[in-house]
Amino acid sequence: MGDIDSAFIQSTEHRPKLKVLESGEIPVIDLSQSNEEELISNIGKACEKWGFFQVINHGVPFEVSEKVEIFADKFFKQSIEEKKKVKRDEVNSMGYHDGEHTKNVKDWKEVFDYLVENSTHIPSSHELHDKELRVLTNQWPQYPHDFREALQEYAKEIEKLAYKLLELISLSLGLAGDQFHGCFKDQLSMVRLNHYPPCPFPDLALGVGHHKDASALTVLAQDDVGGLQVKRKSDGEWIPVKPTPHAFIINVGDIVQVWSNDKYESVEHRVVVNTERERYSIPFFFFPSHDVMVKPVEELVTEQNPARYREYNWGKFFANRNRSDFKKRDVENIQIHHFRILD
């Protein structure tokens, strides 16, 4: 990652020290349990109380996950010159980046992004009148050999799990299991390989600053180093998510928050750095198609519980977020609260 310069230190040295509780309260849910009603109920409770949960016995073969972790390690251990052969840019945001284009200088990591669909379309800009589409295409490095095959296999396995989780979440809301499946035809879903090198200044940096996910839901694999923290809804305390062997961490994203009309909330989370050990994590962001209009589900809107959001186009929302990684905007990065209907 290179040395931290004085500007970095000055920008972070006054970051408030936030209290973190040592707690393992994030629910762990066994997806193989035979009582489906109980499973759906547990999913709903976890979504409502935490916005986060872990799943075990999820059906993703261990060897598929292990293979991706090995390939991620091989890729990030290459020279920076080799990695930058597949570096992302303003035209195509898929590929490698080391954080140098992000506005949040506190992020201490490097990343490789790829699409589940290999190539897809989004609006060419975030402007409301824009009807042109641009293509996002995966960039695959020549080395490690079989890198592409391993990552694509992983994406397809996690995609199956994401659909299953979306079905359970939908059922927990009292909706049909396949209520949202059609939104993911020609999806924008992507996988991210995160590498967090050891950080010599743990009090001055975060692996990733606090944020919420714009996805419908996120499926995260993390190694045994840990570092993910969730902001508990009840009191705002930061709770570490203790790594569970062979588990995936699931969190509700902004889209499900809007679809559920705020019944399930997308919750803030962050990643802290480690002084001695490097860390890897692999989030799968379950994104719908660019032409999907996101709004509260009609069945969940009543006179007593009116719609809390105006509808928005996912492609334009994604394009705005995507472009803001490269160009400083006059306004903050677009969020779902910009579409909130005032009470």
- Comparing 74-83, 129-138, 145-154, 327-336, the range with the smallest average pLDDT is 327-336
The stretch 94-117 carries a mean pLDDT of: 77
What confidence tier does 16 reach under pLDDT thresholds 50, 70, 90? very low
CATH for 98: 2.60.120.330
* pLDDT given for residue 17 in this prediction: 42
Q: What is the per-residue pLDDT across 158-171, written as a single tens digit (0 to 9) for each?
A: 999 999 999 999 99
**124 inside domain:** yes
Structural domains in the chain (count): 1
**12 inside domain:** no
Percent of the chain with pLDDT over 90: 67
Q: Give which of 109, 106, 83 is closest to 98, Cα–Cα.
A: 109
* pLDDT given for residue 18 in this prediction: 40
Backbone angles phi, psi at 158, to 5 degrees: -70, -30
- Comparing 26-30, 73-77, 323-327, 336-340, the range with the smallest average pLDDT is 323-327
**154 inside domain:** yes
Q: What is the per-residue pLDDT across 199-242, written as a single tens digit (0 to 9) for each?
A: 887 666 666 778 899 999 999 999 999 889 999 998 999 999 99
CA distance 265 to 219: 16
**266 inside domain:** yes
CA 145 to chain centre: 27
**6 inside domain:** no
**3 inside domain:** no
239: containing domain: 20-339
Cβ(189)–Cβ(243) below 8 Å: no
CA distance 241 to 101: 28
* pLDDT given for residue 207 in this prediction: 67
Q: What is the per-residue pLDDT across 268-313, written as a single tens digit (0 to 9) for each?
A: 999 888 888 899 999 999 999 999 999 999 999 999 999 999 999 9
Backbone angles phi, psi at 21, to 5 degrees: -95, 135
* pLDDT given for residue 92 in this prediction: 87
Q: What is the value of pTM for the model shown?
A: 0.88
**227 inside domain:** yes
**15 inside domain:** no
